[in-house]
Chains A and B, each alone.
Chain A
Amino acid sequence: MRKVDIDQLPDARGYFGPYGGRFVPETLIAPLQELEEAYRQVKEDGAFWEEYRALLHDYVGRPTPVTYARRLTEACGGARIWLKREDLAHTGAHKINNALGQALLAKRMGKTRLIAETGAGQHGVAVATAAALLGLECTIYMGSEDMRRQQPNVLRMRLLGAEVRPVDAGSRTLKDAINEALRDWSFHLQDTHYLLGSALGPHPYPRLVRDFQRVIGEEARAQMLEQAGRLPDVLVACVGGGSNAIGLFHAFLQDPVEMVGVEAGGADIASGRHAARFADPQRGRVGILHGVKTYVLQDAHGQILNTHSISAGLDYPAVGPEHALLHDIGRVRYTHVGDDEALAAFRALARLEGILPALESAHALAEAMRLAAARPAEHIILVNLSGRGDKDLDTVTQALQEELGA
């Protein structure tokens, strides 16, 4: 494997190797250029990052801790499992890191309104929170199917002052919410910033989101060196668009550390009822969705497929372009975990560690549990526990109905 100087990516056209770019209607080119330019300016502006870091510290509660999962480790009977506790960040997930970063940037650009898509609702809550904190208007697009299964987050967004607009098109999930947010943006460019929530979409979003999530890995690296005395052997993170994963991985890319990205295996791969872009070569092919060239689940005619996952946050047909590159060069191994196994991991963490993980994070946890069982006791596996599971209580209760006596 050739060592890739990924710190230099994306290139000037927004490419990570063959992936990335900017495939959008002409109307959106200028605002994307404006965003790119604004970010270029703040990149070198110490005051901006000082303000950002102060918010992360004083408001979000960073650094989030790393926790050694002793009882889970014992139950798996192998390598030691550590958790990076993004579930303890304000609003309950890593999404707030990016939301605050982009909201600060939007404010610098003179924007007065934020719009965003949301799947699980964690990004929507994070954006609504940032908007409330910084005094910005806020509209969140959410698939009506996702609104149904993530009802608590819909209420939270509304309490935070955001307008939540249901999207009834297509599969009524994250993909359709992004379509609608892009359409809204194309009407309201002047006063509105589109606060995209994952490391995907047209340039410069994949870079912007990665840079604002990089704090996860930077903290984790220092924390592991201090608390465990060394770097972990393996990092594991779930990958929907891939922002929590790239946020964790990025600071470790030049280290001799294995990395595993976990996609949603859904019901099963053969039937197509999943969201695993790398696991299904028949459907997961290089294509273009939402402005970016990357692996996309599509049918034989290039129509984008509806995906399935028990976790709304992973239920998306494309993967961030940097992940596509990391996949191709073999720097990160991508695997998948199905609905049932994610549920089992959810329960295990609840019973053994007293932590309810987000169903998204439970996918990463399930892979870590598999790996732990197969690895020696001196190995360390660090899992990004990207969010907490309160939002998933309805889904989990339904899935485990008999057992919970509901």
Chain B
Amino acid sequence: MRDETMVARQGVQALEQAFARAREEGRAALITYLTMGYPKPEAALELVPALEAGGADIVELGVPFSDPVADGPAIQRASYLALQAGMTPARCLAQVARLREAGVRVPLLLMGYYNPIFHYGERAYVRDCRQAGADGLIVPDLPPEEADELMDACRQEGLALVFLAAPTTGPERLREIAGRSTGFLYVLSRLGTTGAERRFDMEELRRRLAEVRRASPIPVAVGFGVSTPEQARALVGLADGIIVGSAVVERAVDGAAALREYVAGLRAALRQ
């Protein structure tokens, strides 16, 4: 399915390529999320290829943390069980490396809270992410004003550091965040925590995305509360990418084949 003539790149460029490819195909990019280590320690090794085969353009891999304050019940539970089963940041990186060895080419973003990264050592973590074959990081509890060290490390290693914009983010701050984010900007569709059970206000989001467009040319992906092909379709033309997280995590127990089918359904909905 991929354009084999394109040189495989890593980091910011791999993400840019993913968005460019989707744009060329006249659709939004599909970004799906999985919590690593759920429902079993090595689940990602089967599920990530399924996401890729189903048509995900980018995959976010959740590095589980004990206190995920930005997450709703589905990801909280998955994180808890993954930790109980012995998942660690180092094991997550080892699995990323195995996915690459197995030929997975979809850009991989590690999404994880700040404390384990700080504990690992920011520069060492980013270096090991690159060596494992990851393309970037999302750190939901690290706002740009506290992120100098991590931004610098990512810049050095050529990895993306994706920042988030919330409905509460004012215009000035929005410009600043968009300016610092690399790869794309993660725009939250609504207030609150992750989860498919809470919907967002489409009109509000439409206004919001127009504001983001005025602030920066960076690709924009919308997440939080997106779970159905209908919702995904409604966002086509407004966003460069849509992010589906909790709904994928909830289906992780159904196995690789079911997940692939679900993702393919979302992907089909993104055609204009």
Number of A-B contacts (CB under 8 A): 110
Name, among B65, B68, B140, B141, the residue most crowded by chain A CB atoms within 10 Å (CB to CB): B141
Judged by a CB distance under 8 angstroms, whether B131 is at the interface is: no
Provided the pairs A23-B143, A24-B143, A27-B167 are in contact, do residues A301 and B114 lie with their beta carbons within 8 angstroms?
no
CB of B191 to closest CB in A, whole Å:
5
The reply on B234 being an interface residue by CB < 8 A is: no
Interface core residue of B67, B114, B117, B140 (most chain A CB under 10 Å): B67
Is A187 a contact of B141 with CB atoms below 8 Å?
Answer: no
Contact residue among A25, A285, A301 (Cβ-Cβ distance under 8 Å from B116): A301
| Contact across chains for A187 and B192 when beta carbons are under 8 A apart | yes
Please measure, in the bound complex, the distance between the C-alpha atom of A39 and the C-alpha atom of B124, giving whole angstroms: 39
Q: In the complex where A21-B146, A26-B188, A170-B66 touch, is A301 in contact with B170 (Cβ < 8 A)?
A: no
A248 to B249, CA, bound (A): 48
Contacting B at CB under 8 A, from A14-49, are 21-31
Also in contact, A304 and B67, with CB within 8 A (given A31-B168, A298-B119): yes
Q: With contacts A169-B76, A170-B80 known, is A302 near B118, CB below 8 A?
A: yes
Q: What is the bound-complex CA distance between A30 and B170, given in angstroms?
A: 8
Are B164 and A287 within 8 A (Cβ)?
no
From B69, B90, B167, B193, contact of A301 by CB (8 A): B90
Is B141's CB under 8 angstroms from A302's CB? Answer: no
Q: Which residues of B contact A304 (CB under 8 A)?
A: 66-67, 115
Whether B156 sits at the interface, judged by CB under 8 Å, is no
Query: In the complex, which residues of chain B have a beta carbon less than 8 angstroms from the beta carbon of A290?
Result: 67, 69
Contact of B141 among A24, A175, A188, A301 (CB under 8 A): A24
A183 an interface residue at 8 Å Cβ cutoff?
A: yes
Inter-chain contacts of B80 with A (CB < 8 A): 169-170
The verdict on A183 contacting B188 (CB below 8 Å), with A23-B146, A25-B166 known, is no
Q: Are B67 and A170 in contact (CB under 8 A)?
A: yes
Query: Measured between C-beta atoms, what is the minimum distance from A166 to chain B in Å?
Result: 14
- Chain A residues near B83 (CB, 8 Å)? 303
- Residue ID in chain B nearest A182 by CB atoms: B69
**How far is it, in angstroms, between the C-alpha of A22 and the C-alpha of B143 when the chains are bound?**
8
Decide: A26 and B145 in contact? CB cutoff 8 A: no
**How does the 8 Å CB contact mask read for B101-136 relative to A, with 1 for contact and 0 for none?**
000000000000011111110000000000000000
Contact of B145 with A289 in the complex, beta carbons under 8 Å: no
Given contacts A25-B70, A304-B66, A183 and B192 within 8 Å (CB-CB) = yes
- CA of A290 to CA of B65 in the docked complex: distance in angstroms? 13
Tell me which of B72, B168, B192 has the highest count of chain A C-beta atoms within 10 A of its own C-beta.
B168
Q: How far is the CA of A34 from the CA of B170 in the complex (A)?
A: 12
Instruction: Given the known inter-chain contacts A25-B164, A302-B117, A304-B67, please indicate yes or no for A291 contacting B169, CB distance below 8 A.
Output: no
B173 within 8 Å of A (CB atoms) = yes
A117→B167 CA distance, assembly (Å): 25
Decide yes or no whether A96 CB sits under 8 A from chain B: no
Q: Does B221 touch A at the CB level, under 8 Å?
A: no
Contact indicator A301/B143 (Cβ below 8 Å): no
B177 within 8 A of A: yes
Using Cβ atoms and an 8 Å threshold, which residues of chain A touch B70? 25, 27, 186
A137 vs B65: C-alpha distance in the bound complex, in angstroms? 32
A179 within 8 A of B: yes
Q: Is A288 an interface residue (CB 8 A)?
A: yes
Tell whether B94 is near chain A: CB-to-CB under 8 Å.
no
Write the B154-180 contact mask toward A (1 if CB under 8 angstroms, else 0). 000000000111111110010001000
Contact code string B174-208 (vs A, CB < 8 Å = 1, else 0): 00010000000000100111000010000000000
Partner of A27, one of B120, B188, B198: B188
B229 interface hit (Cβ, 8 Å): no
In this complex, the interface size class of chain B, counting residues with CB under 8 Å from chain A, is: 35 or more
The A contact surface, by secondary structure, is: mixed
Asked whether, in the complex, the Cβ of A30 is within 8 Å of the Cβ of B115, the reply is no
Contact assessment for B143 and A287 in the assembled complex, using a CB-CB cutoff below 8 Å: no
Is B88 in contact with chain A by the CB < 8 A criterion?
Answer: yes
Q: Is A25 touching B76 in the complex (CB atoms < 8 A)?
A: no
Which A residue's beta carbon lies closest to that of B147? A23
Contact B119 A302, beta carbon cutoff 8 Å: yes
**Taking the complex as formed, is A108 at the interface, i.e. its CB lies under 8 A from any CB of chain B?**
no
Is there contact, CB below 8 Å, between B119 and A301? yes
CA distance A289 to B120 in the complex (A): 15
CB pair A302–B69 under 8 Å, yes or no, is no
**Among B80, B143, B191: residue with most chain A CB under 10 A:** B143
Tell yes or no: A189 within 8 A of B by CB: yes
Bound Cα distance from A302 to B177, whole angstroms: 27
Q: B119 and A287: CB pair below 8 A?
A: yes
Bound complex: CA A359 to CA B119 (Å): 33
CA distance A182 to B71 in the complex (A): 11
Tell me, yes or no, whether A148 is within 8 Å of chain B by CB: no
Q: Is the CB of B192 within 8 A of A186?
A: yes
Q: Is the CB of A23 within 8 A of B141?
A: yes
- Cβ of A351 within 8 Å of any chain B Cβ, yes or no, is no
Chain A residues at the B interface, C-beta cutoff of 8 Å? 13, 21-31, 169-170, 175-176, 179, 182-183, 186-189, 285, 287-291, 296, 298, 301-304
In the complex, 23 of the A-B residue pairs with CB atoms within 8 angstroms, ordered by the A residue number, are A23-B141, A23-B142, A24-B69, A25-B69, A25-B164, A25-B166, A26-B163, A26-B165, A26-B166, A27-B166, A27-B188, A29-B169, A30-B168, A169-B80, A170-B67, A187-B193, A287-B118, A288-B114, A296-B115, A301-B88, A301-B116, A301-B120, A304-B67
Extra A-B contacts (15), CB below 8 Å, given A27-B191, A287-B118, A288-B141: A23-B141, A23-B146, A25-B141, A26-B165, A26-B177, A26-B188, A27-B168, A27-B192, A186-B191, A186-B192, A288-B118, A290-B67, A290-B69, A301-B120, A302-B115
In order of increasing CB-CB distance, the 4 nearest A-B pairs are A302-B119, A302-B116, A30-B168, A187-B192
